[in-house]
């Protein structure tokens, strides 16, 4: 199980990656 800080960082990276895909993919 992830620690809170790891989970938060993972979510942040996922959000940034999703935003990047939305910006450059379309």
pLDDT in tens, 1-26: 679 898 999 999 998 988 887 777 65
Buried b or exposed e, range 1-17, using 16+ CB within 10 angstroms? eeeeeeeeeeeeeeeee
Please check whether residue 9 is in contact with residue 17, taking contact to mean a CB–CB distance below 8 angstroms: no
- pLDDT score recorded for residue 21: 74
- pLDDT score recorded for residue 12: 94
- pLDDT score recorded for residue 26: 58
> Model-level pTM?
0.52
CA-based max dimension of the chain: 35
Distance CA 21, CA 14 (A): 11
Length of the chain: 26
């Amino acid at each position: 199980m992830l620690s809170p800080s790891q989970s938060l960082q993972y979510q942040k990276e996922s959000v940034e990656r999703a935003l990047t895909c939305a910006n450059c993919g379309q």
